[in-house]
Amino acid sequence: MVSFRRALVAGVATLVFAGACTSISAPTIPPISIPTIPPIGLPGVGGSFPPIVLPSGLVIPPGLFPSVDASTGVCLLASPAEVSSIFGSTATVTSNDSNSCTYTFSNFATIVITTDTGDLAGAQVLFGSTAKQIQVGNDAALTGVFIGQPGVYVQRGQNQLQIQGVLTGSDDATMAKLVQVATLAD
Protein backbone atom coordinates (compact mmCIF):
# COMPACT_ATOMS: atom_id res chain seq x y z
CA MET A 1 0.00 0.00 0.00
CA VAL A 2 2.83 2.37 0.87
CA SER A 3 4.58 1.68 -2.40
CA PHE A 4 1.35 2.41 -4.32
CA ARG A 5 1.03 5.79 -2.57
CA ARG A 6 4.64 6.60 -3.35
CA ALA A 7 4.15 5.69 -6.98
CA LEU A 8 0.95 7.75 -7.13
CA VAL A 9 2.63 10.80 -5.53
CA ALA A 10 5.65 10.42 -7.81
CA GLY A 11 3.37 10.22 -10.84
CA VAL A 12 1.39 13.30 -9.83
CA ALA A 13 4.60 15.20 -9.09
CA THR A 14 5.95 14.26 -12.50
CA LEU A 15 2.79 15.48 -14.22
CA VAL A 16 2.85 18.77 -12.30
CA PHE A 17 6.52 19.27 -13.11
CA ALA A 18 5.99 18.42 -16.77
CA GLY A 19 3.01 20.73 -16.94
CA ALA A 20 5.01 23.58 -15.46
CA CYS A 21 7.85 23.07 -17.92
CA THR A 22 5.70 23.16 -21.04
CA SER A 23 4.56 26.38 -22.55
CA ILE A 24 1.03 27.00 -23.62
CA SER A 25 0.62 29.15 -26.67
CA ALA A 26 -1.85 31.90 -25.81
CA PRO A 27 -3.11 34.54 -28.20
CA THR A 28 -1.26 37.84 -27.85
CA ILE A 29 -3.05 41.00 -26.82
CA PRO A 30 -2.26 44.03 -28.93
CA PRO A 31 -0.69 46.91 -27.01
CA ILE A 32 -3.10 49.51 -25.68
CA SER A 33 -2.29 53.08 -26.59
CA ILE A 34 -3.21 55.51 -23.81
CA PRO A 35 -3.08 59.15 -24.86
CA THR A 36 -1.01 61.37 -22.62
CA ILE A 37 -2.61 64.08 -20.53
CA PRO A 38 -1.30 67.52 -21.38
CA PRO A 39 0.82 68.97 -18.57
CA ILE A 40 -0.79 71.33 -16.09
CA GLY A 41 1.61 74.13 -15.25
CA LEU A 42 1.80 74.87 -11.55
CA PRO A 43 3.52 77.93 -10.11
CA GLY A 44 7.12 77.11 -9.45
CA VAL A 45 6.91 74.15 -11.83
CA GLY A 46 7.06 76.04 -15.09
CA GLY A 47 3.85 77.99 -15.50
CA SER A 48 0.52 78.79 -13.94
CA PHE A 49 -3.18 78.47 -14.50
CA PRO A 50 -4.78 81.34 -16.36
CA PRO A 51 -6.81 83.75 -14.25
CA ILE A 52 -10.54 83.19 -14.04
CA VAL A 53 -12.34 85.99 -15.84
CA LEU A 54 -16.04 86.79 -15.48
CA PRO A 55 -18.05 88.76 -17.99
CA SER A 56 -17.41 92.44 -17.30
CA GLY A 57 -21.08 93.37 -16.93
CA LEU A 58 -21.99 90.62 -14.45
CA VAL A 59 -23.07 92.16 -11.15
CA ILE A 60 -24.79 90.59 -8.15
CA PRO A 61 -27.89 92.45 -6.97
CA PRO A 62 -27.48 94.07 -3.53
CA GLY A 63 -28.59 91.85 -0.67
CA LEU A 64 -28.02 88.57 -2.51
CA PHE A 65 -25.09 87.65 -0.24
CA PRO A 66 -25.94 87.35 3.43
CA SER A 67 -24.19 89.93 5.57
CA VAL A 68 -22.28 88.75 8.64
CA ASP A 69 -21.35 90.74 11.73
CA ALA A 70 -17.97 92.38 11.10
CA SER A 71 -17.44 93.66 14.64
CA THR A 72 -15.60 90.54 15.86
CA GLY A 73 -12.94 88.08 14.70
CA VAL A 74 -10.47 88.80 11.94
CA CYS A 75 -12.79 91.40 10.39
CA LEU A 76 -11.62 93.77 13.13
CA LEU A 77 -8.27 93.99 11.29
CA ALA A 78 -9.89 95.76 8.30
CA SER A 79 -13.43 97.09 8.31
CA PRO A 80 -15.77 96.64 5.34
CA ALA A 81 -15.67 100.42 4.81
CA GLU A 82 -11.85 100.40 4.62
CA VAL A 83 -11.76 97.45 2.20
CA SER A 84 -14.51 99.09 0.12
CA SER A 85 -12.54 102.32 -0.01
CA ILE A 86 -9.35 100.54 -1.14
CA PHE A 87 -11.10 98.57 -3.89
CA GLY A 88 -13.53 101.32 -4.92
CA SER A 89 -16.58 99.07 -4.59
CA THR A 90 -18.91 98.15 -1.73
CA ALA A 91 -17.70 95.07 0.15
CA THR A 92 -20.05 92.83 2.12
CA VAL A 93 -18.72 90.59 4.89
CA THR A 94 -19.96 87.10 4.00
CA SER A 95 -17.92 85.09 6.52
CA ASN A 96 -16.17 85.95 9.78
CA ASP A 97 -14.59 83.85 12.50
CA SER A 98 -11.51 83.85 14.73
CA ASN A 99 -9.18 82.89 11.84
CA SER A 100 -10.62 84.45 8.69
CA CYS A 101 -12.84 87.14 7.26
CA THR A 102 -14.32 87.13 3.75
CA TYR A 103 -15.34 90.30 1.90
CA THR A 104 -17.43 89.78 -1.24
CA PHE A 105 -18.09 92.41 -3.90
CA SER A 106 -21.09 92.67 -6.23
CA ASN A 107 -19.03 91.32 -9.18
CA PHE A 108 -18.22 88.05 -7.28
CA ALA A 109 -14.68 89.22 -6.48
CA THR A 110 -13.67 88.18 -2.97
CA ILE A 111 -10.98 89.24 -0.51
CA VAL A 112 -10.11 86.76 2.23
CA ILE A 113 -8.06 87.81 5.26
CA THR A 114 -6.70 84.86 7.23
CA THR A 115 -4.42 84.48 10.23
CA ASP A 116 -2.42 81.27 10.57
CA THR A 117 0.82 79.89 11.96
CA GLY A 118 3.82 79.21 9.78
CA ASP A 119 6.58 80.94 7.91
CA LEU A 120 7.04 82.41 4.46
CA ALA A 121 8.82 79.31 3.12
CA GLY A 122 5.46 77.68 2.42
CA ALA A 123 4.21 80.79 0.65
CA GLN A 124 7.41 80.89 -1.40
CA VAL A 125 6.69 77.36 -2.65
CA LEU A 126 3.02 78.18 -3.21
CA PHE A 127 3.75 81.29 -5.28
CA GLY A 128 6.71 79.75 -7.12
CA SER A 129 8.33 82.03 -9.68
CA THR A 130 5.73 84.77 -9.14
CA ALA A 131 6.83 85.36 -5.51
CA LYS A 132 8.22 88.82 -4.73
CA GLN A 133 9.69 89.77 -1.37
CA ILE A 134 8.30 93.00 0.06
CA GLN A 135 8.00 94.77 3.39
CA VAL A 136 4.61 95.41 5.02
CA GLY A 137 5.07 97.76 7.94
CA ASN A 138 8.06 96.31 9.79
CA ASP A 139 7.31 92.76 8.70
CA ALA A 140 8.72 90.63 5.89
CA ALA A 141 6.12 89.67 3.31
CA LEU A 142 5.63 87.95 -0.04
CA THR A 143 3.30 88.72 -2.89
CA GLY A 144 2.54 86.27 -5.63
CA VAL A 145 -0.02 84.45 -7.72
CA PHE A 146 -1.31 80.92 -7.21
CA ILE A 147 -3.67 79.37 -9.78
CA GLY A 148 -4.28 82.81 -11.26
CA GLN A 149 -5.31 84.35 -7.93
CA PRO A 150 -3.15 86.95 -6.13
CA GLY A 151 -2.07 86.86 -2.53
CA VAL A 152 -0.01 88.67 0.10
CA TYR A 153 1.52 86.75 3.00
CA VAL A 154 2.94 88.77 5.90
CA GLN A 155 5.15 87.17 8.57
CA ARG A 156 4.21 88.47 12.04
CA GLY A 157 6.44 86.66 14.51
CA GLN A 158 5.30 83.02 14.53
CA ASN A 159 2.06 83.92 12.77
CA GLN A 160 1.10 84.88 9.24
CA LEU A 161 -1.40 87.35 7.93
CA GLN A 162 -2.68 86.16 4.56
CA ILE A 163 -4.62 88.37 2.15
CA GLN A 164 -5.98 86.49 -0.85
CA GLY A 165 -7.88 87.83 -3.81
CA VAL A 166 -10.33 85.57 -5.62
CA LEU A 167 -11.58 86.64 -9.06
CA THR A 168 -9.88 90.01 -8.58
CA GLY A 169 -7.27 89.74 -11.30
CA SER A 170 -3.57 89.63 -10.57
CA ASP A 171 -2.33 92.80 -12.23
CA ASP A 172 0.00 95.23 -10.45
CA ALA A 173 -2.84 97.60 -9.47
CA THR A 174 -4.81 94.79 -7.80
CA MET A 175 -1.69 93.51 -6.06
CA ALA A 176 -1.03 97.04 -4.74
CA LYS A 177 -4.59 97.10 -3.31
CA LEU A 178 -4.04 93.78 -1.59
CA VAL A 179 -0.80 95.12 -0.11
CA GLN A 180 -2.80 98.15 1.13
CA VAL A 181 -5.25 95.80 2.87
CA ALA A 182 -2.30 93.87 4.35
CA THR A 183 -0.73 97.10 5.60
CA LEU A 184 -4.04 98.13 7.16
CA ALA A 185 -4.55 94.73 8.82
CA ASP A 186 -0.95 94.32 9.99
What distance in Å separates the CA atoms of residue 10 and residue 105, rounded to the nearest whole number?
85
Residue 130 has pLDDT above 90, yes or no: yes
Determine the pLDDT at residue 108: 84
Task: Tally DSSP H helices, then E strands, for the chain.
Answer: 4, 7
User: What is the spatial distance between Cα 177 and Cα 26, in angstroms, rounded to a whole number?
Assistant: 69
Looking at per-residue pLDDT, the higher value among 50 and 27 belongs to 27
The per-residue pLDDT for 6 is 57
Task: Give me the residue spans of the domains in the chain.
Answer: 73-185
Whether residue 55 is predicted with pLDDT greater than 70 in this model: the reply is no
Strands (DSSP E) found in the chain: 91-96, 100-105, 110-117, 132-136, 139-146, 149-156, 159-166
The pLDDT of residue 136 is 93
pLDDT confidence tier of residue 71, bands split at 50, 70 and 90: confident
If pLDDT is split at 50, 70 and 90, which confidence band does 175 have?
very high
Instruction: Tell me the mean pLDDT in the region 160-169.
Output: 91
Angle at 177 between CA 172 and CA 181, to 5 degrees: 145
- Mean residue pLDDT of the chain comes to 77
- The pLDDT score that the predictor gives to residue 107 is 85
| Band (75; pLDDT cuts 50, 70, 90) | confident
In words, the CATH class of domain 73-185 is: alpha beta
Whole-structure pTM value: 0.65
Q: Answer whether residue 95 shows pLDDT above 60.
A: yes
Within 13 Å and on the Cβ side, how many CA atoms surround 18? Answer: 6
What pLDDT does 186 receive? 81
Q: What is the pLDDT of residue 139?
A: 93
